[in-house]
């Protein structure tokens, strides 16, 4: 409310200033510089010399304003130019007073003239003030005249004063009896006075033997009968002369700023009113000082002026004005003659306060409405995305299988935003063709990985849902677990458990890490991966084809346990269908050549890709390398080529060579070779591969695998199994001991139709 009060006081101040501008401000004695420079004499005796007047050429505005101070006289006297015209007062509003000699004409008793004085005065550019001065003639046998020049024209006027006896004279009346007066025309610049007598005072000599005439300030002379005689002792009387700058108008002067005389800020120019040429300057209302000097006009502190003591409580000075203020809780104009200060808030104040309060309340309501609408819109959007992303279908399917799906959670957008610090760039842990993977942290320090896919095709929504459902049901220690998902965003978000030790790809191809990847670990990883794939392929009603098996999709945890990930490309194949034609998908180097040719997707494609991973584990070489000759660029080709040439041991990885039992290594090599068979039908199925590798791994762990006497037998056994596997082909009946799917899921895969 403080702001409102200030506004209100300002309003009041404006009103007061408007009102006060009519009241005249009496001038206080000047306490500001009046001369142009410190060196310029600003007074002569008791007479001040304000600029544009000055006693030297540098100190005066022009020759017109040059004055002389005669300090030899006592007291010193000021004279206009170097004449004998004595100046007694200079006013900044355009007048100055000079002393003017009185004309006199005296006679002897015998009728002869005793003395005669006929003074005259001449001003070049100044003019005699025609309203302040009167031409007065005194005498009982007299007529006096005044004449001279009005610029380049002439004038003459006068009057007659007569009386018979002393009693004819009237105190204070100058109407012809012993005294007469007349006005003079304007623009008078020279004054000559003459006096004449009709009868040489022969009839009135006993009480009046002299005539007098003068042009003087009206207020300086009031007629009294005694003046018939006592005027003899007076030599001079004051006369008012008008001065102005130059001889043009304000507009003409302003065209030449260097010579323009109104130098001060807060000053203005006005034409000399109808008595001669030139212009004058004046300070604005509320300012005082010398408008002819730079910064000559200063603010008048009206509050210090006792004659303006009109405020009841408090007077506040402002530049160019002032206002009366009332204390807090009072209103009114605060002036003594006016309203004064009245207790209580004014109507205007109440009105302003009321309106302001109303506006504030309205604003608050608008704000609240805006936020509420925004919140609703966001909720609606979330719901829309949820539906669009198949939320209902998912929820329904999940609720139907309540018993089996235990841990899949539907996350809210808010939770995931919080977990990833609003999807901060620092939280990105992976980027690729599929989208972006963020690391997130749920409450209780549960670390998760959030996959934000690329925008999803609306037609694939149902398929996406099926995949989510499948993944949410795979509960295998070697598959990255899907913890939940979020459908409230435009792009569905998948939430996985966070695997902290990188990908198999890194461990194989980063030299520092590869050294720690022992033969035993390699075998273990291979067996675990094979196990997972076998599990996926062998679910009861549908089998899941991963379609993108590669070392970069196998994650490792801190115990180097394999976790297969990225089921983004995976397809479900109903059990009554052994193959499926789809658009080609996969990673170059791992892609099944048969699938490439026929576009027919079968489980055997995964077997081929796994074979490549196996070779990668065995050799530590890149799957695709352009450093190798063209036919050996693909690792699979290179592998098969060196096998044929019997140079296999040239390309095996160091750890494998050093630590691996030669026979075991050969077994794995044979498994890899069978997986890489060009014809899918001739590759073993995943289950067989998994069993073979698992067997080898157990053999590796148990000392009998290394002791000599059983080696032969076991080798034969394995060889037999292996060749059997190669020849048998598909066999779904073998159970590896995983829980299989309970539900049958219909599959609307476009590619399949």
Decide the pairing of beta strands 482-486 and 409-410: parallel
Our finding on whether 110 is near ligand NAG (CB under 6 A) is yes
Binding mask 502-521 for ligand NAG (x = CB under 6 A): --------------------
35: closest CA among 20, 48, 44, 24?
A: 48
Show contacts with ligand NAG in window 532-551 (CB under 6 A). Answer: none
> At its nearest, how many Å lie between ligand NAG and the CB of residue 262?
11
Our finding on whether 37 is near ligand NAG (CB under 6 A) is yes
Neighbours of 513 (CB within 10 A): 14
> At its nearest, how many Å lie between ligand NAG and the CB of residue 380?
59
Instruction: Please choose, out of 228-236, 302-310, 435-443, 598-606, the segment that lies near ligand NAG by the rule CB under 6 A.
Output: 228-236
Contacts of 548 (CB under 8 A, 6+ apart): 566, 568, 569, 570, 585, 586, 587, 590, 609
Q: Is the Cβ–Cβ distance between 448 and 440 less than 8 Å?
A: yes
Give 207 or 738: the residue with its C-beta nearer to ligand NAG.
207
What does DSSP assign to residue 626?
A: T
Our finding on whether 240 is near ligand NAG (CB under 6 A) is yes
Our finding on whether 231 is near ligand NAG (CB under 6 A) is yes
> At its nearest, how many Å lie between ligand NAG and the CB of residue 263?
12
Residue where the block lists tokens 């090599």: 669
Instruction: Please choose, out of 270-278, 350-358, 519-527, 733-741, the segment that lies near ligand NAG by the rule CB under 6 A.
Output: 270-278
Show contacts with ligand NAG in window 120-159 (CB under 6 A). Answer: 120, 129, 131-132, 147-149
Instruction: Please choose, out of 103-111, 559-567, 594-602, 689-697, the segment that lies near ligand NAG by the rule CB under 6 A.
Output: 103-111
Give 67 or 601: the residue with its C-beta nearer to ligand NAG.
67
> At its nearest, how many Å lie between ligand NAG and the CB of residue 105?
10
92: closest CA among 282, 297, 276?
A: 282
DSSP states of 225-294: TTHHHHGGG--EEEEEEE--BSSS-HHHHHTSTTT-S--STTEEEEE--SSSS-EEEEEPTTEEE-TTST
Say how many residues make up the chain. 753
**What are the b/e assignments for 44-72, b being 16+ CB within 10 Å?**
beebbbbbbbbbeeebbbeebbbbbbeee
Decide the pairing of beta strands 571-574 and 542-545: antiparallel
619 — alpha (psi -120 to 50), left (phi > 0) or beta?
alpha
Dist. CA 499–CA 477, nearest whole Å:
12
Give 111 or 354: the residue with its C-beta nearer to ligand NAG.
111
Instruction: Please choose, out of 220-228, 415-423, 603-611, 659-667, the segment that lies near ligand NAG by the rule CB under 6 A.
Output: 220-228
Our finding on whether 277 is near ligand NAG (CB under 6 A) is yes
Our finding on whether 38 is near ligand NAG (CB under 6 A) is yes
Our finding on whether 275 is near ligand NAG (CB under 6 A) is yes
Give 266 or 472: the residue with its C-beta nearer to ligand NAG.
266
Dist. CA 294–CA 138, nearest whole Å:
48
Our finding on whether 165 is near ligand NAG (CB under 6 A) is no
Give 278 or 391: the residue with its C-beta nearer to ligand NAG.
278
Residue of 24, 31, 39, 124 interacting with ligand NAG (CB under 6 A): 39
Residue of 104, 211, 266, 539 interacting with ligand NAG (CB under 6 A): 266
Neighbours of 145 (CB within 10 A): 18
Radius of gyration of the chain (CA): 60
Instruction: Please choose, out of 227-235, 504-512, 516-524, 621-629, the segment that lies near ligand NAG by the rule CB under 6 A.
Output: 227-235
Q: Is 452 annotated as a binding residue?
A: yes
Our finding on whether 75 is near ligand NAG (CB under 6 A) is yes
Assign 3-class secondary structure to 558-602: CCCCEEECCCCCCEEEECCCCCEECCCCCCCCCCCHHHHHHCEEC
Is 548 assigned a catalytic role? yes
Dist. CA 264–CA 522, nearest whole Å:
98
| Binding-residue total with ligand NAG (CB under 6 A) | 50
Instruction: Please choose, out of 6-14, 105-113, 515-523, 675-683, the segment that lies near ligand NAG by the rule CB under 6 A.
Output: 105-113
Residue of 24, 31, 112, 426 interacting with ligand NAG (CB under 6 A): 112
> At its nearest, how many Å lie between ligand NAG and the CB of residue 310?
23
Q: Is the Cβ–Cβ distance between 210 and 232 less than 8 Å?
A: yes
> At its nearest, how many Å lie between ligand NAG and the CB of residue 6?
21
349: closest CA among 101, 64, 1?
A: 1
> At its nearest, how many Å lie between ligand NAG and the CB of residue 417?
56
Our finding on whether 71 is near ligand NAG (CB under 6 A) is no
How many CA atoms lie within 13 Å of 164's alpha carbon, on the beta-carbon side?
0
Residue where the block lists tokens 């809210």: 412
Our finding on whether 291 is near ligand NAG (CB under 6 A) is no
Dist. CA 603–CA 545, nearest whole Å:
6
Beta-bridge partner residues of 403 = none
> At its nearest, how many Å lie between ligand NAG and the CB of residue 23?
19
Q: Using alpha carbons only, what angle is made at residue 145 by residues 142 and 149, rounded to the nearest 5 degrees?
A: 170
Q: Is the Cβ–Cβ distance between 303 and 318 less than 8 Å?
A: no
Residue of 104, 227, 466, 582 interacting with ligand NAG (CB under 6 A): 227
Our finding on whether 113 is near ligand NAG (CB under 6 A) is yes
Give 296 or 435: the residue with its C-beta nearer to ligand NAG.
296
Our finding on whether 661 is near ligand NAG (CB under 6 A) is no
> At its nearest, how many Å lie between ligand NAG and the CB of residue 4?
28
Residue where the block lists tokens 């289950």: 687
Our finding on whether 221 is near ligand NAG (CB under 6 A) is yes
Contacts of 151 (CB under 8 A, 6+ apart): 187, 189, 276
Decide the pairing of beta strands 210-217 and 153-162: unpaired
Residue where the block lists tokens 């569905």: 492
> At its nearest, how many Å lie between ligand NAG and the CB of residue 151?
7
What does DSSP assign to residue 245?
A: B
Our finding on whether 230 is near ligand NAG (CB under 6 A) is yes
Q: Is the Cβ–Cβ distance between 237 and 100 less than 8 Å?
A: yes
> At its nearest, how many Å lie between ligand NAG and the CB of residue 265?
4
Q: Coil, strand, or helix at residue 722?
A: helix
Residue of 95, 196, 317, 661 interacting with ligand NAG (CB under 6 A): 95
Dist. CA 744–CA 249, nearest whole Å:
108
Cis, peptide link before residue 75, omega less than 30° from 0? yes
Residue of 68, 182, 192, 475 interacting with ligand NAG (CB under 6 A): 192
Q: Alpha-carbon torsion 346, 347, 350, 355, what sign?
A: negative
Our finding on whether 24 is near ligand NAG (CB under 6 A) is no
Show contacts with ligand NAG in window 303-322 (CB under 6 A). Answer: 319
Our finding on whether 622 is near ligand NAG (CB under 6 A) is no
54: closest CA among 46, 65, 45, 44?
A: 65
Our finding on whether 273 is near ligand NAG (CB under 6 A) is yes
First and final C-alpha spacing in the chain: 75
> At its nearest, how many Å lie between ligand NAG and the CB of residue 16?
19
Q: Per the residue annotation, which of 42, 105, 299, 548 is the catalytic one?
A: 548
Q: What are the phi and psi torsion angles at 231 (to 5°)?
A: -65, -20
Enumerate the active-site residues: 548
- Provide the annotated binding site: 452
- Provide the annotated binding site for ATP: 452
Instruction: Name the site residues for ligand NAG (rule: CB under 6 A).
Output: 37-39, 45-46, 75, 94-95, 106, 108, 110-114, 120, 129, 131-132, 147-149, 192, 199-200, 209, 221, 224, 226-227, 230-231, 234, 240, 242, 247, 249-251, 265-266, 269-271, 273, 275, 277, 298-299, 319
């Amino acid at each position: 409310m403080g702001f409102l009060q200030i506004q209100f006081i300002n309003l009041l101040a404006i009103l007061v200033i408007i009102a006060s501008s009519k009241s005249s401000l009496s001038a206080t004695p000047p306490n500001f510089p009046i001369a142009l420079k410190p060196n310029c004499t600003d007074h002569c005796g008791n007479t001040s010399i304000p600029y544009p007047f000055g006693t030297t050429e540098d100190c005066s505005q022009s020759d017109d304003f040059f004055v002389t101070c005669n300090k030899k006289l006592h007291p010193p006297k000021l004279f206009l130019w170097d004449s004998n015209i004595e100046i007694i007062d200079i006013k900044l509003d355009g007048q100055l007073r000079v002393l003017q000699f009185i004309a006199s004409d005296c006679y002897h008793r015998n009728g002869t003239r005793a003395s005669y004085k006929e003074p005259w005065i001449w001003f070049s550019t100044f003019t005699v003030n025609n309203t302040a001065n009167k031409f007065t003639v005194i005498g009982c046998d007299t007529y006096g005249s005044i004449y001279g020049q009005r610029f380049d024209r002439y004038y003459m006027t006068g009057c007659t004063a007569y009386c018979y006896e002393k009693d004819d004279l009237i105190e204070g009346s100058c109407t012809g009896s012993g005294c007469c007066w007349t006005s003079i025309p304007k623009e008078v610049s020279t004054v000559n006075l003459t006096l004449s007598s009709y009868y040489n005072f022969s009839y009135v000599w006993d009480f009046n033997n002299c005539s007098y005439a003068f042009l003087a300030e009206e207020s300086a002379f009031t007629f009294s009968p005694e003046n018939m005689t006592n005027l003899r002792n007076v030599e001079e009387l004051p006369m008012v002369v008008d001065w102005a700058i130059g001889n043009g108008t304000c507009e003409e002067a302003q065209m030449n700023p260097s010579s323009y005389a109104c130098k001060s800020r807060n000053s203005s120019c006005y034409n000399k009113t109808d008595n001669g040429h030139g212009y004058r300057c004046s300070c604005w209302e509320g300012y005082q000082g010398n408008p002819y000097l730079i910064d000559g006009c200063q603010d008048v502190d009206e509050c210090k002026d006792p004659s303006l003591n009109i405020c009841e409580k408090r007077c506040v000075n402002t530049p160019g004005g002032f206002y009366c203020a009332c204390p807090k809780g009072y209103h009114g104009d605060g002036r003594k003659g006016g309203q004064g200060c009245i207790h209580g808030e004014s109507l205007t104040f109440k009105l302003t306060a009321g309106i302001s309060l109303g506006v504030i309340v309205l604003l608050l309501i608008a704000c609240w409405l805006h936020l509420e609408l925004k919140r609703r819109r966001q909720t609606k959007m979330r719901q829309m995305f949820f539906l669009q992303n198949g939320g209902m279908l998912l929820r329904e399917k999940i609720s139907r299988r309540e018993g089996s799906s235990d841990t899949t959670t539907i996350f809210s957008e808010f939770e995931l935003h919080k977990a990833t610090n609003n999807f901060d760039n620092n939280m990105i842990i992976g980027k690729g063709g599929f989208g972006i993977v963020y690391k997130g942290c749920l409450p209780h320090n549960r670390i998760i990985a959030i996959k934000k896919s690329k925008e999803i095709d609306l037609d694939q929504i149902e398929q996406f849902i099926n995949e989510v459902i499948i993944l949410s049901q795979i509960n295998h220690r070697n598959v990255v677990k899907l913890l939940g998902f979020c459908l409230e965003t435009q792009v569905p978000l998948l939430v996985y458990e966070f695997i902290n030790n990188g990908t198999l790809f890194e461990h194989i191809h980063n030299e520092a890490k590869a050294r720690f990847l022992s033969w035993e670990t390699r075998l273990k990883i291979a067996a675990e991966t094979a196990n997972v794939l076998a599990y996926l392929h062998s679910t009861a009603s549908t089998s899941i084809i991963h379609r993108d098996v590669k070392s970069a999709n196998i994650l490792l945890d801190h115990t180097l346990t394999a976790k297969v990930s990225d089921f983004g490309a995976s397809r479900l194949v109903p059990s009554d269908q052994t193959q499926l034609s789809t658009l080609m998908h996969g990673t170059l180097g791992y892609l099944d050549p048969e699938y490439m040719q026929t576009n027919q997707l079968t489980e055997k494609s995964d077997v081929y890709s796994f074979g490549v991973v196996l070779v990668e584990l065995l050799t530590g070489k890149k799957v695709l390398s352009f450093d190798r000759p063209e036919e050996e660029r693909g690792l699979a080709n290179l592998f098969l080529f060196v096998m044929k040439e019997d140079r296999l041991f040239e390309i095996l990885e160091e750890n494998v060579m050093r630590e691996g039992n030669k026979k075991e290594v050969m077994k794995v090599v044979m498994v890899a070779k069978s997986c890489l068979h060009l014809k899918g039908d001739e590759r073993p199925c995943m289950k067989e591969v998994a069993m073979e590798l698992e067997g080898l791994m157990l053999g590796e762990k148990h000392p009998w695998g290394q002791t000599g006497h059983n080696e032969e037998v076991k080798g034969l056994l394995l060889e037999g199994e292996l060749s059997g596997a190669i020849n048998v082909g598909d066999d779904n009946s073998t159970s590896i001991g995983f829980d299989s799917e309970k539900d049958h899921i219909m599959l609307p895969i476009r590619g399949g139709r």
